[in-house]
Amino acid sequence: MTSGGTAPTLVVLAAGLGSRYGDAKQIVGVGPADEWLLEYALHDALAAGFTRVVMVIRAALRSPLQQRLAPHLHERAALHFVEQTLDKVPDGCRVTAARSKPLGTGHALWCCTPLLNGPFAVINADDYYGREAFRLLAEHFRHTRQPAMVGYRLAATLSGHGGVNRGVCRVDPDGRLEDVIEFTDIAIRDGVLAGNAPDGNRVALAPDSVVSLNCWGLWPELLPDLEQGLRGFLAQSGDADEYFLPHAIAAYLTKSHKALSVLPTNDTWLGLTYPDDRAHATGALAALHDAGTYPTPLWAHP
């Protein structure tokens, strides 16, 4: 149990469109028995003591997700689906008729507000975070109500098929986040690991830099500020803008004077940023199964 006495909930952001991958990568088979990346996250979270799963989805994914996941989670964890739609906004707010794209990850989490009454982790559906991430978050929840983020080594989060975007973190000696700088198109080219800084300059980056993969450990105290930020966003945003969860968390930390703990992990990230990433993910997961990290098939044992 946690410091608040409630087992943690896993919130999975699964409504994204995956523009670079070109497919519904939330439901792309990569495991030995065609398991999805998000199934590994669910498996690992349950092993760490999470007892509820809240999935933020778009309508087209409800049926395949329900049919695939509900039998596996039956008697293991409660499963809830929340559709992220443009008509779900705070009272008194509106979205212009010209808008077609989703409102962003901050809005996605806000849509879950009625289901969040204890500690919760937030992850993307199309990333493999490793077993340790969920163990670290569950352990953190047991001892403090501070927000947290699992931090990865930059070199363990790259794609061999193109650049990736990462939030490169500065962490103080006590393991607290000082700031995050968003770099785009991070890749090794001509033997140099580098990315594009916000000012457009290409900057060399250290392989051991700590990066955020949007693997958060949060408490309901965030939610009123999340809504306040969403209201402000809707009042002034353009039709192509998004309300991003990292920005909402940063604003909450500033306002509340809270520190965010960075929980370092040495696990290697797997993702499907580009279509060619699938072969690498498939091979890496097969090796984990062969090593006994996971049963084959994944849900073979209770």
What's 74's domain CATH number?
A: 3.90.550.10
pLDDT at 273 (0 to 100) = 86
Give the tens place of pLDDT for each residue, 183-225. Answer: 999 999 999 999 999 999 999 999 999 999 999 999 999 999 9
The answer to the question of residue 298 being in a domain is: no
170, 205 Cβ separation under 8 angstroms: no
The answer to the question of residue 186 being in a domain is: no
42, 11 Cβ separation under 8 angstroms: no
- Alpha-carbon gap, residue 66 to 75, rounded angstroms: 15
The answer to the question of residue 185 being in a domain is: no
- Alpha-carbon gap, residue 68 to 62, rounded angstroms: 10
The answer to the question of residue 151 being in a domain is: no
pLDDT at 109 (0 to 100) = 98
Query: What is the model's pTM?
Result: 0.94
Q: Which residues of the chain have pLDDT under 70?
A: 1-5, 17-24, 301-302
Q: Which of 166, 147, 119 is nearest to 251 (CA)?
A: 147
Give the tens place of pLDDT for each residue, 53-85. Answer: 999 999 988 999 999 999 999 999 999 999 999
The answer to the question of residue 42 being in a domain is: yes
What are phi and psi for residue 165, nearest 5 degrees?
Answer: -105, 130
- Alpha-carbon gap, residue 106 to 100, rounded angstroms: 17
pLDDT at 22 (0 to 100) = 45
Residue 66 tokens, joined: 């329900």
The answer to the question of residue 88 being in a domain is: yes
pLDDT at 300 (0 to 100) = 86
The answer to the question of residue 13 being in a domain is: yes
The answer to the question of residue 200 being in a domain is: no
The domain of 106 spans: 9-143+213-256+270-290
**Long-range contacts at 83-91 (CB < 8 A, ≥ 24 apart):** 83/15, 83/56, 83/57, 83/58, 83/59, 83/111, 84/15, 84/56, 84/57, 84/58, 84/108, 84/111, 85/59, 89/230, 89/234, 90/227, 90/230, 90/231, 90/234
What is the tally of structural domains in the chain? 1
